[in-house]
Amino acid sequence: MTSSQIYILISIIALTGIMVVLILTRKKMKKPLSLLAGLAFAFIIAGIVFGESRLIGYNLIGVGVVLAIIDIVKKMKAKKD
């Protein structure tokens, strides 16, 4: 395995661990993870998995970031109302 593959594997394991913690503590959370945030997380993971093809990987990560920003803005607007 090359060093870039090792970094990808480490990042996938770390993000999967974060997702497992979020799922296990979901019942304790006051506000559960929204559908849009879950989709953003999935796109970012897919971008990391398909990182060998830079065009596809960066586009998937970009879509994930945009969805996360949209989710943040929606939650901020809902909080103001």
Residue-wise pLDDT for 41-72, tens only, equals 999 989 988 888 889 999 999 999 999 999 99
Q: Which domain holds residue 24?
A: 3-80
Indicate the pLDDT class of residue 20, thresholds 50, 70 and 90: confident
Q: What is the pLDDT of residue 28?
A: 66
Q: What is the mean pLDDT of the chain?
A: 86
Rounded-to-integer distance, Cα 29 and Cα 10, Å: 27
Contacts of 67 (CB under 8 A, 6+ apart): 36, 37, 39, 40, 43
Q: How many domains does the chain have?
A: 1
Q: Which residue has the tokens 């109302």?
A: 81
pTM here? 0.64
Task: Provide, rounded to the nearest whole percent, the portion of the chain with pLDDT above 90.
Answer: 35
